[in-house]
Amino acid sequence: MALAIEKLHPLFVAEVSGVDLTRPMDDATAGAVRAAFDEHSILVFRGQDVTDEQQVAFSEHFGPLERMLVGSQGGGTPLAYLTNVDRETGAIIPPDDKRMIRNLCNMLWHSDSSFKKVPALASILSGREVTGEGGETQFATLRAAYDALTDDMKRRIEGLVAEHSFAYSRSQVDPTLLTREMKDEVPPVQQSLVRQNPLNGRKALYVGSHASHILGMPVEEGRALLGRLLDHATQDRFVYTHRWRNKDIVMWDNRAVLHRGRPWDYMKPRVMHRTTVAGHGPTAAGGRVLASA
Ligand code: OGA
Ligand code: MN
């Protein structure tokens, strides 16, 4: 089946049509999707009425799937449930419930699983029940952000390694959000500040809410630099806003984009199911950038 690809933003993001993700996919089609993903960083598929099993089957074409953190909705399974609907009672989860506050942390710009030693390659998010207004997901291109840095800044950050920490990003929202067990599950990790796609050589500025500080630099100084780079990367000109329709699937490259959720009327249901394809290896170790980054 021939894929049709239409760009949705001058710098990244493409809508892909001519493919039905509810059906088994042949290797040639999966290869074409993978090539489009490496090229455009974000793929939008419309009208995909998938079950969880079909979403998992599609996702597994791109590598092994991550399991969700203990204590999250879907913990221990390959499905992340980003939802304000209680999966047992069907009631709206109140905004001050810890589950909701954890969901709201997604409103900070981030790259999925950058707090894991092997960070995520792709996230695949299915809009099961979307809101008419609000609840958009925004994406920022880290490639264009890297390219737009001054040569001086590019030189300054080359080879730098940042510490990423889930406990750090969550403590920004609510220091009591994580239990000891949840913190112990994901100790701080090292990530290269600049990532390069091995297929096409494109470099990306790997920042986001989990990035705490920079190794070999005083914490406050590193934090200030990370903040400056994050502000740079998330300027309007680098941002695409996805307005969800029911049955949309959006697949993004966590190496090359940041994303964040936007607020909505929390009394209205919003149900999103995500699968996450694991990356190939760590991007840094022992304070050094690894070639596989
Ligand atoms: C995610 C995420 C934001 C949203 O699925 O990883 O951060 O808009 N989602 O639901
Ligand atoms: Mn996310």
Taking CA atoms only, the protein residue closest to ligand 1 atom 9 is 261
* The pLDDT of residue 205 is above 60: yes
Looking at all shown ligands, the one closest to residue 127's CA atom is 1
d(CA 45, CA 59): 13
d(CA 212, CA 188): 9
Question: Alpha carbon 286 to chain centroid distance?
Answer: 25
d(CA 172, CA 241): 24
pLDDT at position 292, please? Answer: 63
| pTM, entire model | 0.97
Interval 59-79 mean pLDDT? 90
Q: Which atom of ligand 1 is nearest to the CA of 137?
A: 8
Specify the amino acid at residue 172. Q
Interval 51-76 mean pLDDT? 92
Taking CA atoms only, the protein residue closest to ligand 1 atom 6 is 112
**78 CA to centre of ligand 2 in angstroms:** 14
135 torsion bin: left (phi>0), alpha (psi -120 to 50), beta (else) = left
- Yes or no: say if 255 and 123 are a contact pair by the CB < 8 Å rule: no
Outline where DSSP puts E strands in 38-172. Answer: 42-45, 80-83, 120-129, 137-141, 161-164
pLDDT at position 73, please? Answer: 80
| Selected residue with higher pLDDT from 17 and 99 | 17
**28 CA to centre of ligand 2 in angstroms:** 29
Residue with tokens 């942390």: 105
For a mutational test of ligand 1's pocket, the pick from 274, 275, 277, i.e. the residue with the most ligand atoms closer than 8 A to its C-beta, is 274
Residues of the chain with pLDDT > 70: what percent? 99
Taking CA atoms only, the protein residue closest to ligand 1 atom 3 is 261
**137 CA to centre of ligand 1 in angstroms:** 7
pLDDT at position 75, please? Answer: 83
Q: Which atom of ligand 1 is nearest to the CA of 261?
A: 8
Interval 186-198 mean pLDDT? 95
CB within 6 Å of ligand 1 — which residues?
82, 106, 112, 123, 125, 137, 259, 261, 272, 274
**152 CA to centre of ligand 2 in angstroms:** 31
pLDDT at position 76, please? Answer: 86
Task: Name the band, by pLDDT with cuts 50, 70 and 90, for residue 44.
Answer: very high
**255 CA to centre of ligand 2 in angstroms:** 13
Specify the amino acid at residue 281. G
All structural domains of the chain: 4-289 (3.60.130.10)
Q: Which atom of ligand 1 is nearest to the CA of 262?
A: 8
* The pLDDT of residue 146 is above 80: yes
* C-alpha dist (Å) from residue 141 to 132, 183, 204, 228: 25, 29, 8, 16
* The pLDDT of residue 1 is above 70: no
Please choose, from the candidates 215, 205, 197, 200, the residue with its C-alpha nearest in 3D space to the C-alpha of residue 292: 197
d(CA 126, CA 130): 10
**60 CA to centre of ligand 2 in angstroms:** 19
Alpha carbon distance, N-terminus to C-terminus of the chain: 33
Outline where DSSP puts E strands in 63-160. Answer: 80-83, 120-129, 137-141
